[in-house]
Every structure is written in C-alpha cells, then in structure tokens.
Chains A and B, each alone.
Chain A
C-alpha cells in the first residue's frame, strides 16, 4: 500500500466532502426551517458556477468574480423563493418535488440558452495553480486546499450564525412556531426568503469553487443534487451537524472507493473480475452505505427533533 497516495486521496475525499457539505447545508437548512424539498438546489449550484465562470473570463480575476457572483446567486435564490417556492410551502412534499422539478427544467434550459450547451472552462488564476508539498512526495493543489478551508469556515460560520446571532435566534424560533414569531412583529416571509437566499448562496459558492477544476456545465447540477440528498438523508434531514458528518463520510468513501477498491478486490478475485467489479461497486458504494445506515436508523444519524 502506498501511504503517500492514500494520504493524498484522503485529502481529496475531504475536499469532495466539504464541497458536498456546502451544497447539502443549504438543502438541509431550507428543509429544516421551511419544511421545503428543493430539487432546484442543484441548478443553483450550476448557475453559480456559470455566473462565476463568465465573470472570471470578463474580469480576468477569479476572486473578484466570486465576490460579485455570490450576491447574484443569492438574488437568484431570492427570486426562486418569491416566484415559486413561497407559494408551495403550504402544499405537501409531492407538490414541492413536482414544482421544483419544473424549476430544474426551466433553469437548466435557461442556462443552455444563455451559456450554450458545451459549458465553460474557467482558467485557474496563477496563485491557485500551484501545489503545496505537505511532506515528502505528498502534494496537494492549492485549489483543493482552498475548498477544504472554505468548507470548514462555512461550517463554523453557520454554527455561529444559527446559534449565537439574533438572526439565527429568529430563524430557530420561526422554524418551531411561525405564527408566534410573526405575532411578535417579525416579518416571517422576509426571514424565510433570507434563509432561502442564504442556502442558494452556499450552493452557488460550491459551484464557483469547483468551476476551475471541472468547468461549468449544465449537467453538474443534476449530478450533485442526488449525492447531496444522500448526504442529508444519512445525516438526518434538517440537521446541520448530521449534514457535515455525512458529507465528509460520503466524500471519503466515494473517493477512496474509486481509487482503492480494485486493489482490494484483487486480493480475493481474479484481476479481470476485479477490473469489472470495482467500478460497479464503487459507483454504488454511497447508496449501499445509505441503505445500511437507514436499515439501522431510519431517520438518519441525527434525526431532527419532532416539530411542535
């Protein structure tokens, strides 16, 4: 076993996990507080990547592009909330899913019209292009470190926001009793729209950070949304702590499975069989993990407390 490679793959897995957390946190925030299932969350991730890609090409500055794209993505989220989501809160989950599925189709086609079918590659700025040598032979691209750092910072920021600020207090109060909070003179609709926009910004941020690695493409939204769902199911829908832990677990398992499963399989089956079985099993691993966890804990690792 090559331990340097293992170490680097663990870091890659951590990076994927934190990227997933950025997407899943918005999803779980909106579900936990608004009781709303949002399939279109992945499309916001995609749109964030596209806006950032266009701005990077236009301004020639990746960081500046992110700073401008963030409020723009928040605005997209706000528009979605006001135009569609707000009217769906009172309906059941099936209607949420169908309505936001319609939104996915609309947003993906709009992206297709605006940015074309091929997607955009984002040039990596010089200061992000390098690699850091952690120890002998173990190098990690700066961009991946940036994603890890941002993910951890956002996780910390969210804990602070929800637990230690006045806004967070209102959000928690609004989640447990809407009527009471609005009776106390808080504009609950505005508050919910803010939460929605915040979730959109987090997903957008994830899309922006990954865009220099993968480019911005229309398919990226549909690809990440399912994995993000798996994350919040495993973590317990509505639980931020659960989303964080599940995202890191999924990131690690997926990355390590893809790189080491064939080595593992060769130990007890022929090389040919391992070559076929390894990709198939690694493609299914996170779902198998989900199945096992749900078989033991049907509500996920950190089930949300019952609503009052």
Chain B
C-alpha cells in the first residue's frame, strides 16, 4: 500500500467510516442517523453514476433524477398492483422482478433518450437531457392510476432472497455494498480501454474520431450504464422511503444531484460521496434552523461556482497528484 495517494487514503478512510458509524448509531438507539446515512449512501450511488458521465465522460446530464424515479416506480407499480389487483403481467412483490424492471426500464430509457441527446453536444445536450427528465416527470404526474402528483405509498417492500429490506440494518448493508461495487465498477470502467476512449473523447472528440473510434457508440454505452446504475439507486430509494412521487424526478432534483458531484469533486472516486454527505448534512442542519434553507443553500451554490475549483476533493489533493 506504499504507492497509495493522499486522496486514495482519504477515500479508504471515508468508506470505512461509512461502514462502521451508521450501524453503530443504530445499535445505540439513534435510528435517525441511520436514516441520514441510508439517504446518503443511496444518493451516493446515484451521484457516482452521474460522475461517470459528468466527470469522466464530459457529458453534463441534467436529467438524472428521472432514472431514480423510474427505478423507484419499478418497485411501486408492481407492488401496488400486487396489493390492489390489475396489470397481472408485473403485479408482484418479487424483489428480483422489481430489480430487473428498475435496471431494464432505466437502461431502455437511457438508450432511447441517449441516442437522441448524444447527437448533440455541450449546452444542447444539457438542456435536452433536462427536457427528457421533465418528460418523465410530467408522464408520471399525468398517470392518475398511480395518484399522479400526490404519489404512491409502497405498502410492501421488495421481497429479496436472503435479505429482508424491512430491516434498516440489512437495507443499509445492501446499499453500502452496492455503493462500493458501484465505485469499483466506475473505477474499472474508467481505467479500461473503454474508459480511456471515453476520456479521450472528453478532451478532444475530433482527435478520437480521427483515430478511428466511434465515440458516439462509446458515449451511448456509458450513458446506458450510468442510467441503469442510477435506476438501481432508485430501486433502493423506493424501498427506503416507501413513498414515491413524480417530485423525485423534478429537474431541481437533477440539479441537486449535479451539485453533489461538482461540490465533492467531479472525476474523483470519493467526490460524489463527499458531495452527497455535505448536501444531506446541510439540508438537515439548515432546515432545522429555518424553512427558508434554500436561501443559504443557493448562496453557497453560487459561491461554490465563483470561488471553489475542483470541488472539496481538490482541497485534499497532495502534491503532484
């Protein structure tokens, strides 16, 4: 472990703390901190998936909340029909079905919207992904079957083999392991030949195209992977909150997700987790002082853009990294 960098060490220490502290708090009767940690870890997975696009691929997706929503509705809709009847094809409490739906539908949505969005670049891409995200929001808002705007309560959580999602400890265990796997996956992808092409296209797309790479295909693949990963986070979030509504897909949610990645430090491993931690703590602390917590939050966001480069991870970087 001699050749570990300073940020590498911080990543390991941060992840070890996330593994130990929340279960410790829960066992000592502080269920509240467990709730915070659960949200943090689940949003962390979503932020990691966005980081693959935004940080490593240079694709600024402003519609990622849609995937969270799709994943969550993939739990809510089958569970709703299993309780109240109708739509026999998917009506079930089976968690593996929910999982397959969450990942499958998210990947499909990513494939279709990505195929169109990736024909454009820069600010067009940003606005189009935002518009597609809003499309998903309005779609679920208009579905009266699932209470539209008012949202849906999930009465029965996904039933998985070996794991009982009704237990906060087990749900946390699953979410934490998922987060670690997501981080490792992104690391492996980024360091693979595939990831090299992706980063090469971020720096200079024309050069990669001239070298004979079909960068469109590489980007679309990354977009689908990221969307599916984010849909998986939605699956966990639905099982955690047991309440889902179109609000999860609203464009401001996508903005918050982007904020987490940038705040923590895009294209770093721990950055998205650090960003989501700060976001959730800030939301908790500020909103306990005032219902107008968006005001200081917004000011901090403006300050972040104007004065901080490279996010929080940038502050920790050792010499020569």
Interface residue A307 (Cβ < 8 Å from any Cβ of B): no
Partner of B138, one of A229, A284, A299: A284
A284 to B258, CA, bound (A): 24
Closest to B254 in A: A101
A98 to B145, CA, bound (A): 35
A side interface size, CB within 8 A: 45
Question: Do B134 and A98 touch across chains, with their CB atoms under 8 A apart?
Answer: no
What is the size category of the interface that chain B forms with chain A? 35 or more
Interface residue B123 (Cβ < 8 Å from any Cβ of A): yes
CB-CB < 8 A to A290: which residues of B? 128, 131
CB-CB < 8 A to B127: which residues of A? 37, 229, 232-233, 237
Given contacts A101-B255, A279-B144, A294-B116, contact A94 B60 (CB under 8 A): yes
Question: Do B131 and A102 touch across chains, with their CB atoms under 8 A apart?
Answer: no
A298 to B139, CA, bound (A): 24
Interface residue B73 (Cβ < 8 Å from any Cβ of A): no
CB distance from A185 to the nearest CB of B (A): 30
The interface residues of chain B, by DSSP majority, are classed as helix
Closest to B121 in A: A298
Question: Do A113 and B292 touch across chains, with their CB atoms under 8 A apart?
Answer: yes
Given contacts A93-B126, A98-B262, contact A283 B141 (CB under 8 A): yes
Q: Which of B160-214 contact A (CB under 8 A)?
A: none
Interface residue B142 (Cβ < 8 Å from any Cβ of A): yes
Q: Which of A160-193 contact B (CB under 8 A)?
A: none
CB distance from A218 to the nearest CB of B (A): 11
CB-CB < 8 A to A109: which residues of B? 292, 294-295, 298
A112 to B290, CA, bound (A): 13
Interface residue B62 (Cβ < 8 Å from any Cβ of A): yes
The interface residues of chain A, by DSSP majority, are classed as helix
Closest to A293 in B: B116
CB distance from B156 to the nearest CB of A (A): 24
Question: Do A105 and B131 touch across chains, with their CB atoms under 8 A apart?
Answer: no
Closest to A291 in B: B116
Given contacts A112-B292, A229-B127, contact A104 B258 (CB under 8 A): no
Given contacts A105-B298, A222-B252, contact A91 B305 (CB under 8 A): yes
Question: Do A87 and B306 touch across chains, with their CB atoms under 8 A apart?
Answer: yes
Partner of B60, one of A93, A112, A226: A93
Closest to B259 in A: A98
Which 9 residue pairs of A and B lie closest in terms of their CB atoms, listed nearest first? A102-B301, A105-B298, A106-B298, A287-B135, A102-B302, A283-B138, A99-B305, A109-B295, A283-B142
B contacts, CB < 8 Å to A:
54, 60, 62, 113, 116, 119-120, 122-124, 126-128, 130-132, 134-135, 138-139, 141-145, 250-252, 255, 258-259, 262, 292, 294-295, 297-302, 304-306
A contacts, CB < 8 Å to B:
31, 37, 39, 84, 87-88, 91, 93-95, 97-99, 101-106, 108-110, 112-113, 222, 226, 229-230, 232-233, 237, 276, 279-280, 282-284, 287-288, 290-291, 294-295, 298-299
